[in-house]
Every structure is written in C-alpha cells, then in structure tokens.
Chain A
Amino acid sequence: MQIFSKDKTYNFMGKSLPFIILSILMILSSYIILGSKGLNYGIDFSGGTIVQVKYEGPAPIDKMREQISVDKMFANASITEFGSPDEVVIRFMSSSDSVQEDLGDIVTELLQGTGSFEVRRVDIVGPKVGGELREKGIMAMVISIIAILIYITIRFEWRFAVASILALVHDISIAIGAIVLFNVDVNLDILAALLTLLGYSLNDTIIVFDRIREEVKNSKSFDLFEIINFSISKTLSRTLLTSLTTFFVVLTLWAFGGEIIHGFGLTLLVGILVGTYSSIFVASPMLKWLKFSVEDYKKKESIKEKRKIEKEKMRAQYEQGVV
C-alpha cells in the first residue's frame, strides 16, 4: 500500500506564507489564553491535597460539598467528577505537615453519612515540595533544550539547531495553549508529556533536516527552496506514517488509559499533531530566514571531506613507513 505518489515534489516553500500566518495565530492565541486564564497548576506544583473517593452508585456531590464545608479549612475545596459519576476528586490548597493526622482522615470523617464510599487516593504535597518540583521541572526543560541544541549544532550546524528549537518552542507553546484551554491540571505527568513532546517534535524535524543535509551535499542545485521542497516531499510519507502510528497509541492511551493519565494523553495528542505540522511547515522555512547558504555549507563540507582524505592519506603513508 502506498499513500503518496512516488516521485512528486510538492512546493511547500512556495506556499509557506499562509502556514506561517496560521502558526503565528495559533501561538498568539495560546499565549492569550495562557495570559488570561493562567496555567491550572495541580497539587504537585502548587502544593495542596487531593482526595479521590469512589462511591457505590453516583457520588452525592452537593451533599458532600455541604458536609465538607463545615470545616473552614475546606471552604474552598473543589469537588469534581473523575472519569465516572461514581468517582470524585476533592481538591484543596491546604496541606498539613503532621504525619499522624492528615487531611485525608479529616475529610473521610466529614464525609461520614454521605453514602457508602471508599477513599482510593490521598495525595498531599507541602508548599515547599511543590516549589521544589516546579523549580526542578523548569530546570529539566531548560537543560534538555540546551543539551539538544548542542547536539544538533555538532551534528548539523547552528542554523539547524536554532530552527529546530524555534519549531520546538512553537509546538510546546501550542500544546500549553491546549492544556490551558482544556483545563488540564498541570502535574508532574504533564511535565513528562511536555518533555516527551520535546524529544518527539525534534525527532520529526531532524528526519527532515537529515534529508536536507544529505541533499545539500549530493545535489548539484544551489537553490535552497528546491532542495527543501525535494527533501520534505521525500520524507513526507515517513513523517506522516510514524506520526500516525504514534498517534494511534497516544489515542488509545487517552481514550482507554484511565482518568489519571488522561491529561498526559491529551497533551501528547495535541503535541503530535502540532509537531508533525511544524516539522513540515515551520522548521524548514526557518532555515531560509536564518540565511542558510547552500554554497557555504557545500564549501565547508568539501573542506571537511578534503581534510579527511588528507588525514587518511597520511595515515596510509605512515603505515607503509614512508614518512
């Protein structure tokens, strides 16, 4: 089976303007949502308490709210359905540092009489730990971006690195926009999803860049547009196919993986769509704007090649004992 015609070269670069506008619009609206609504930090980063309760039969949310708010500490607690009508999550900002008596016990006590229920999960994160986790999360993001930037600079050249990082920022920004839009609680798992996305988005971009690098070396053309169009077209089926297989599994994860990894799945789902799009329409045009020159790159490569040959020659002479 084949989806894409064999040798057609699509003119991506010629039609890049509307896509660039689309990208800018998506990024802008992401930041506008982010600015107006803000990230919905879960307890991992903001500190607080989560109590997950499962009832036999539908959970009496109103009655629960009434009984819990008796204690002032829980006046601002939110009670929301979690996956099914039987199951709810109670969230509040306070946390206690007592080991013996924790807030989960108090909530359980307050809920007596609301029906037959089972407390399935109690997570308490103190404010200090929340702050540390947030710091670590940001560090993880920054460090991996720097590490990848260095790697790509070594393997390609700096323009490729900058272009791929910009595409990455594009992807992450839009994914964060989706997180805000769908009210996903930002916990550690969302951070993990974003970091995975970081790797994945680059993965796609690199496949295209790898082809561009190869074409720059091999083709006789000096026209960057032509080379980029050719390379994207050649890698198009691969880009779409792997995105498709990864999309399949993330979709099942999102749909069937359970409520706890729902947000994780959603983040990746959006991320894969955007990542695929950006590796085709964002990363490559960026090379043009960064004034990547085919001629210079070819020169550099041929110098490298020459040096390599010379070295080998010298080694051969040395081994034969000529020098």
Chain B
Amino acid sequence: MSKGGLNYRLVIFFLAIVFGLGLSAPTFLQTEKGAKIALGLDLQGGLYMLLGVKTDEAIKSKIKSIASSIKFFTDDNDIIIDDLKINKERLSLTLVDPDEEKNLDEMLKKIPGLVLEKENLNYDLSLNEIEKEATKQYAINQAVETIRNRLDQFGLAEPNVARQGEDKILVELPGIKTGEEEQRARELIAKAAHLQMMTVDELRSDRAYDMSAAEAAEYGDVILEDARSNKMKHVLKEVPILDGSMLTDAKVGFDQMNQPVINFSLNSEGAKIFGDFTGKNVGTHLAIVLDNKVYSAPVIRERIGGGSGQISGGFSMEEASDVAIALRSGALLAPVKLLEKRSVGPSLGADSIRSSMIALALGFLLVVIFMVVYYGFAGIIANIALVANLFIVLAVMALFGATLTLPGMAGIVLTVGMAVDANVIINERIRELFRQGKSIQKAIEKGYDNAMSAILDANITTLLAAVVLYAYGTGPIKGFAVTMSIGILASMLTAILGTHGIYQYFMPHIEKSKNLSLWFGIKGGAK
C-alpha cells in the first residue's frame, strides 16, 4: 500500500491553479486594478494602420530650408545673389559680387553634409550620402513622434504609434467608434502641417493663370492655389522666408467676424527673421501658406515685430482645432503613405467575440463530456487539468499584457482539443499496463514514464511551429501563436504534473476499491 495524500506534484499544481485564478480574476471581473488581457482591434473594434514615409520628400524639404537660410544670410549681409533655384535634390545659385566669395563660402562650409561644386561663381549644392541617410532616418523618427503627439492631443483612448522595421510606422487606435471619427483621425495623421511664409513675386503676380509650372520654376517661382477656392492662384517665390519649424505655439482663436482662426507665435529666431523681412519689404505682399495652399496674402504695412501671426481661411471649429494640434505637434518632414489599413467596427468585434465564445464553450463541453464517458474518473482528473490550463493561459497573457485577438481565441479553442492529448496518451499507457496485469501503483507510475517521451516530442514540435509563426506572423496571427505556445507549455504543467499529483493523492483509495471501471473506464478489477 502506498501512502497517498499530499505530494510535491500536487502542491505545484495547486500553486499553479492559485496563480491562474488570481491573475485571470481581474480579466473576468473587470476590476479597476490588476493586469488585464487587452482585446485586439479585431475584437473590440478600431483602426490599425501601417504607414510608409516618403523619405525623398524629406531630402527635398531639407534642401529647401538650406535655401531659406542662404537667402536670409545673403539678405542680412547685403550679398547679392541671383538665380537661387531648387531642382529636386539640388540647389543652384549665382554669386553676383565676386568680392563676397570668401564670405559666402565660409557660411556654406558651416552647413553639415553639404557638397559644394563651383564653376566660376555658379554654385551647385547638394547633400552627401551620409547626410541624406541621416535626414531620412530623422524624418521617420520625427514622423513617429509627431503622429504620436497629434493623436495624444486628439483625445482618443490608448493610441499606439510605433516605428516598425526599417521605414514603417504602426498606428493603432482602439478608441475609434464611427467612420467620421476615423476619417478625422486619418486626416490629422496625414496632415503635413507645413507652414510657410512666402513672398509674392510682384513682377509676375498677374501671370498666375497663364504660366506653366515649369516656366515658373525657371524664375524660381511656384504657383499655388488659394485655400478658399482652387480656381484662385498665386505666384510666389519658391524659397520661403521662414517655415513652421520656428513655430512655438498655435491656438484656436476668433477674428472680428467671430470666425475660428489659428493664432501662432514664432520663436526668437523666427521673430527676428520675420521682423527684418517685413521691415525691409513694406508695401509688398506676404503669403501665409499651409500645406501648399495660400490662406492669405496681405500687404505688409509696417515692420511686424513680436513674432506672431494668424491663419484665417474659413475653418470650421473642428478643422481649426485639428490644424492647431497639427501645427503645435510640428510639421511632418516627409509625407506619409498608407501601406496597410484594417478597420473593424465595434459591432463586428462584438459579434466575433460572441461567436468565438460559443465555439469555445461548445468545444470545451464536448471534450469534457467525452473524457468522462470514455475514461471515468481518469477523465475527470484530465478535465480538472484542462480547466486549470485555461486559467493559466489567461493568467500568463494578463501578466505579460498580451492582446487577445480572434485568431488568438481560435488558438485557445485548439489548445483545449490538444491539451487533453497528453492525458489520453497517459491513460492509454496506464490501461495497457493494467492489461499486462501490473498493479495499480506500478501501472500508474510506469504509464507516466512510458508516455513522457512521446508527449515531450509531440509538444516540442508543435511549439517549434508556433514559435516560427510568432516570429514571422503579424498582428492577430501573432496572437494565435502566443495563445498556442502558452497553452502547450501550461499543458505540460497541468496535464502531466498536475494529474500525476492527483493520482498519487488518491492512490490508497484506488488501491482499496480496485474498481478499474470507475477509475479508468475499463472492465475488470486490478491486482
């Protein structure tokens, strides 16, 4: 007779159950405190986007800002230059006064990563490869930061913005409920928020409608549409006076007509450039340009100090608020493009939860009933292990803050089917040993021993497949790999160690009753 009662296996199993129940409780009871399992976007609804960054545009705008600073420097030092032109990723200019060559060269040398090619006094400037790469990287990181800032201020619950891989940005917005809300969020994300102060080309301002873009470029001009009507056009100097990078704040305000406007202020450097420029150019037009649309082009009446300005252009209150958010968070150095988008409405998510729960409950019930019918008491023991397994899976997921997705639910359902596998193998081995006439204790101990290698090999191969799936899968599929892997690992603890402990605990009873039909579902008594 063996002594039965408490044993180390049972204690470990018991601790595992306590762990499972304790850590999955916050999820079930939806308590305030404690780690809970988050639902994936496919179950709770929301917007998932994978964005790419058009990094070439970042290089172009870097060239543009170098052009601005050259223009400011030459204006400030009364150096006369001509033909300041931007051609894609290159910048060219002609120095008129040869005496200033040294002065200009010195200034250009201070700009990092600039490659200078000179023929007489014709300058040709571009960026070297290192600087280009750095600009690209900076543009991606800056886009992540900027989009994150914007979404934080937009007021949705738990936005997630992260860089993914080389050049992609992942955006997850679980809080989105309606199509309109989604569209507003998408517009906010993609808004370049590129604010520029530009000068109107007074010589050619009447040619806005009969000049081609190429012709305008020859004069160093661009033709931009008016924000109010795309039929109205303006001819502007391509190199801006200053841009939004010198902006410190942007707020929604109201003009005399009580229309929403955006008031912005510049930092001290911007204020100085703005003040100097307006002081020197009284009587000309200054255009305020946002995302290549001209919002206003008033005449400069006097020097404007203090570095503040206003964008007005018939905004709705919502638009004005979004533009202000975008300006405050900074411009996107490079535009973003959509690579992948998945949006799920809350009602579909709820449907998915319901149907997968039904599948889980039904599948679970079928397995549980089958085990009891086929194995008797041994089946009940296996079922206890199965329930413990489910709780442990949920607990581990909550502990690591894993997200439950629809494929993840499928993974749990599948785990239910596969977790009893170990117990079926063990029980079949035990039955076999009974038939060979082994004693109860011997049959159980030997049964576990014999089953071990098969269970280990089978579980490890499945685990290998799950791990690879995790490494190569994306989004919801990762969720499937996670639940499968945790389920397999937990089943080793519950189905092998746990059930073994329970048998040991009941050993004296089993030996006393010798009723193999009751305990193991087979006919005949035991020795």
Report which A residues bind B (CB closer than 8 A). 1-2, 6-7, 52, 54, 96-100, 102, 104-105, 108, 118-126, 128-129, 133, 136-137, 139-140, 143-144, 147-148, 151-152, 155, 188-189, 191-192, 195-196, 198-200, 202-204, 206-207, 210-211, 214, 234-235, 237-238, 241-242, 244-253, 255-258, 260-261, 264-265, 268
Contact = CB atoms under 8 A, between A and B. Distances in A.
A264 B351 CA distance: 17
B438 to A, nearest CB: 14
The majority secondary structure among interface residues of chain A is: helix
Given A151-B464, A203-B458, A264-B407, A252 B342 contact: no
Contact of A136 (B342, B351, B472): B472
B338 A189 contact: no
A121 B343 contact: yes
B51 interface: yes
A125 B466 CA distance: 25
Contacts of A191: 473, 477
B216 interface: no
Contacts of B339: 97, 126, 128-129
B474 to A, nearest CB: 7
B374 A241 contact: yes
A242 B367 CA distance: 10
A96 B417 contact: no
A203 B466 CA distance: 13
B328 to A, nearest CB: 20
Contacts of B362: 252, 256
B96 interface: no
Interface stretch (B13-21, B30-38, B408-416): B408-416
* Residue from A6, A129, A258 having most chain B Cβ neighbours under 10 A: A258
A196 to B, nearest CB: 7
Interface string B464-493: 111011011111110011001000000000
B366 A1 contact: no
A97 B51 CA distance: 9
Given A100-B187, A268-B414, A248 B345 contact: no
Interface in B503-526: 521-523
B177 to A, nearest CB: 12
A229 B21 CA distance: 45
Given A192-B480, A252-B366, A139 B472 contact: yes
A251 B351 CA distance: 19
B189 interface: yes
Given A129-B50, A148-B464, A234 B348 contact: no
A133 B50 CA distance: 13
Interface stretch (B154-162, B242-250, B419-427, B439-447): B419-427
28 contacts: A1-B374, A99-B189, A121-B345, A122-B342, A124-B338, A126-B340, A148-B461, A148-B464, A188-B476, A199-B463, A200-B462, A203-B459, A207-B458, A210-B457, A214-B453, A241-B424, A242-B418, A242-B424, A245-B421, A246-B418, A249-B359, A249-B414, A250-B413, A253-B410, A260-B406, A261-B356, A261-B406, A268-B414
Given A97-B339, A242-B421, 16 more contacts: A120-B345, A121-B345, A126-B338, A133-B474, A144-B464, A192-B473, A192-B481, A196-B414, A196-B465, A199-B464, A207-B425, A245-B370, A245-B371, A256-B362, A261-B407, A264-B407
A120 B348 contact: yes
What are the 4 tightest A-B residue pairs by CB atom distance, in nearest-first order? Answer: A249-B363, A258-B355, A199-B465, A246-B417
Given A2-B522, A245-B421, A108 B458 contact: no
A199 B417 CA distance: 14
A249 B468 CA distance: 24
Contact of B358 (A96, A133, A256): A256
B473 A140 contact: yes
B338 A96 contact: yes
A123 B340 CA distance: 8
Contacts of A128: 52, 339
Interface string B335-367: 011111111110110011001101100111011
A122 B374 CA distance: 46
A65 to B, nearest CB: 22
A263 to B, nearest CB: 11
A238 B425 contact: yes
Interface string B310-351: 000000000000000000000000001111111111011001
A206 B464 CA distance: 14
B183 interface: yes
B454 interface: yes
Given A108-B179, A120-B345, A253-B363, A246 B414 contact: yes
Contacts of B187: 99-100
A105 B183 contact: yes
Nearest to A104: B343
A56 to B, nearest CB: 12
Given A1-B374, A124-B340, A200 B460 contact: no
A258 B356 contact: yes
Contacts of B356: 253, 257-258, 261
A118 B410 contact: no
Contact of A148 (B51, B179, B465, B473): B465
Nearest to B428: A238
A245 B341 contact: no
Contacts of A195: 465-466, 468-469
A19 to B, nearest CB: 23
Contacts of A210: 453-454, 457-458
A198 B414 CA distance: 14
Contacts of A151: 460-461, 464
Contacts of A102: 186, 338, 341
B432 interface: yes
Interface string B169-201: 000000000010001001101100000000000
Contact of B461 (A129, A199, A237): A199
Nearest to B352: A258
B465 A188 contact: no
Contacts of A143: 468, 472
Contacts of A261: 356, 406-407, 410
Contacts of A245: 366-367, 370-371, 417, 420-421, 424
B352 A260 contact: yes
Contacts of A137: 472
A264 B410 contact: yes
Contact of B363 (A120, A121, A252): A252
